[in-house]
Amino acid sequence: MEWILSVMANDRPGLVERIAREVRQYGGNWEESSLSRLAGRFAGIIRITLKDDRATELQSALENLAVDGLTVSMIAGDNAQSGADLRAVTLELVGHDKAGIISEISTVLASLQINVDKLTTQVESSSMTAEPLFRAFAQLQVPVAVDEDTLQQRLEAIANDLMVDINVA
């Protein structure tokens, strides 16, 4: 069975090793993860496979890591695979950083029933002006009923207000 672990701690060396050791000790297999250092904190999400009869033991072991300042929660994955009526689309965005960009974009996506599979964002210094530049890259699952032109038009309608460039492919 698949399990999802969410992880949070003050960043320091050895955190991944501690989690991986527990997963392995209880017969789990680390399948997929996204781990990052954000504002001095270590945060992430991990998908593992594990026999159901070992889940309670592993969950207890992971909860015991709290004494080391590592918070790990574990929930069962949802193996339901829907996607026959969806297609993969990428979205790239770049523009001057300002509050509300992701809120505005996600409102459009939700209104079209578009699911965000993966979202990566960052703020960096613009090479020309040294002003903060916001970049986002998203992998989306778009219903086949929503054509790319409609999606592009809806995003372009807010792009000018946000002062960003948006490309959908």
User: What pLDDT is stored for residue 68 in this prediction?
Assistant: 87
Residue 108 has pLDDT above 70, yes or no: yes
Cα 95–97–99 angle (5° rounding)? 125
Q: Mean of the per-residue pLDDT values for the chain?
A: 93
Query: What are the residue boundaries of the structural domains of the chain, listed by start?
Result: 2-76, 86-168
Query: Cα(34)–Cα(45) distance, rounded to whole angstroms?
Result: 6
Tokens 């009526």 — which residue? 85
**Domain 2-76 shares a fold with domain 86-168:** yes
- Averaged over 82-89, what is the pLDDT? 83
Domain 2-76 in CATH 3.40.50.720? The answer is no
* Structure-block tokens of residue 97: 């950083």
Residue 28 has pLDDT above 80, yes or no: yes
Provide the total of helices (H) and of strands (E) in the chain, helices listed first.
4, 8
Residue 81 pLDDT level (bands cut at 50, 70, 90):
low
User: What pLDDT is stored for residue 160 in this prediction?
Assistant: 87
pTM of full prediction above 0.85: no
Q: Which residue has the higher pLDDT, 160 or 19?
A: 19
- Averaged over 55-68, what is the pLDDT? 95
Domain 86-168 in CATH 3.30.70.260? The answer is yes
